[in-house]
Structure 1
């Protein structure tokens, strides 16, 4: 099964320069243009048979536009939401400096989830998706942090954040799981955004 991992387009939080995470910001107009370009590329080159999406506005709109463009079914899952950053959600980067980041994997920001809890949440939903999907190709539309956890799961990496997989706005990653192999076709493709330059 091929799995397309797609990050949402630019959101209002990017303009406001605030911590996003669980803060539920919408896409900007630029973000919507990015999404349309991404959706056209995916439809032309590797259309999925089914889409899974995060329930946060920025990813939900991205996933919905992709589903409408391709004409396939979609299922939204709360467990695909971005890392629960608790009290930091919606705070400016300056305001957030009052709250020191967790030093250990089991520690949380106030009202948030730890790195271990985040990874286990994504492990669980990824397992559900890959074991219940009977399709040749699916898409998962989510967030940068979620995509990092999905790729760490795919590569069977530890919870530690020694590696970071870059995901630009509407970045496309294509991976594949067969009976005997895990294949990376490409990561962080944003070439469809060249049309905006």
Structure 2
């Protein structure tokens, strides 16, 4: 008998209202353009269930899509974005003006150079991985759409690809970027593969 196959479509939220800025826990809704980006990204897709971050830029679209398709929508609290601490709500230019080289250091090695009072990357990775394992366990054989954040998706892809934690930000997802993961449940364990990557806009 063929091994059960689970497919996960990872979808980053669209453009939020308020323009580009650090928004980990800042809970902005989607802009009209952001809604349109996600509608285009999900057109023609077929899933058995939807899972999303609790933040508005993910949850509000996910709940509408699930209701339109007659699907369950589960809010996964641990899929929320990393907290950027004192950088929350600031633009990159504002962070550079106030903190100098700290921003470049963070992008190059987020483990060694976290934002001040921000969530340590190892803690962020651990909570996303815990939620990921829960999702794998209760989605066997299903097609699942996960609406989440660039950082959350980077953690999931890092895990699948076996990348060092310090290289996490080398996986960049634009607004409405997508990745498809395939999990084969075999007698030898779960085999994971990245099937498709569309970085979005």
Q: Which residue of 2 aligns with 1:120?
A: 126
> Following the alignment from structure 2 to structure 1, what is the Cα–Cα distance between the partners of residues 169 and 25?
22
After the TM superposition, which of the residue ranges 114-123 and 104-113 deviates more from structure 2? 104-113
**Equivalenced residues, count:** 185
Structure 2: 5+ residue runs without aligned partners?
Answer: 1-5
Question: Does 2:165 correspond to 1:159?
Answer: yes
Q: Which residue of 2 aligns with 1:32?
A: 35
Structure 1: 5+ residue runs without aligned partners?
Answer: none
Distance 1:137 1:104, change over 3 A: closer
RMSD over aligned Cα, in angstroms?
A: 2.2
Q: By how many angstroms is 1:56 displaced?
A: 0.7
Q: By how many angstroms is 1:164 displaced?
A: 2.0
Q: By how many angstroms is 1:70 displaced?
A: 2.2
Q: After the TM superposition, which residues 67-78 of structure 1 pair with which residues of structure 2 at under 5 Å, given as runs?
A: 67-78=66-77
2:160–2:194 Cα contact (<8 Å) kept: no
Q: Which residue of 1 aligns with 2:10?
A: 5
Distance 1:27 1:163, change over 3 A: closer
> Following the alignment from structure 2 to structure 1, what is the Cα–Cα distance between the partners of residues 135 and 112?
26
Q: Which residue of 2 aligns with 1:145?
A: 151
Q: After the TM superposition, which residues 1-197 of structure 1 pair with which residues of structure 2 at under 5 Å, given as runs?
A: 1-13=6-18, 15=19, 17-42=20-45, 47-97=46-96, 98-99=98-99, 100-101=102-103, 105=111, 108-161=114-167, 164-180=170-186, 181-188=191-198, 190=200
TM-score normalized by the length of structure 2:
0.82
Q: By how many angstroms is 1:111 displaced?
A: 3.0
> Following the alignment from structure 2 to structure 1, what is the Cα–Cα distance between the partners of residues 110 and 175?
29
2:160–2:193 Cα contact (<8 Å) kept: no
> Following the alignment from structure 1 to structure 2, what is the Cα–Cα distance between the partners of residues 83 and 162?
12
> Could you say what secondary structure the match of 1:41 adopts?
coil
2:110–2:166 Cα contact (<8 Å) kept: no
2:154–2:168 Cα contact (<8 Å) kept: no
2:8–2:181 Cα contact (<8 Å) kept: yes
2:172–2:199 Cα contact (<8 Å) kept: no
State the Cα deviation string for residues 90-143 of structure 1 (Å, max 9, x = none): 113233222335566266433321111111111111111101224421111101
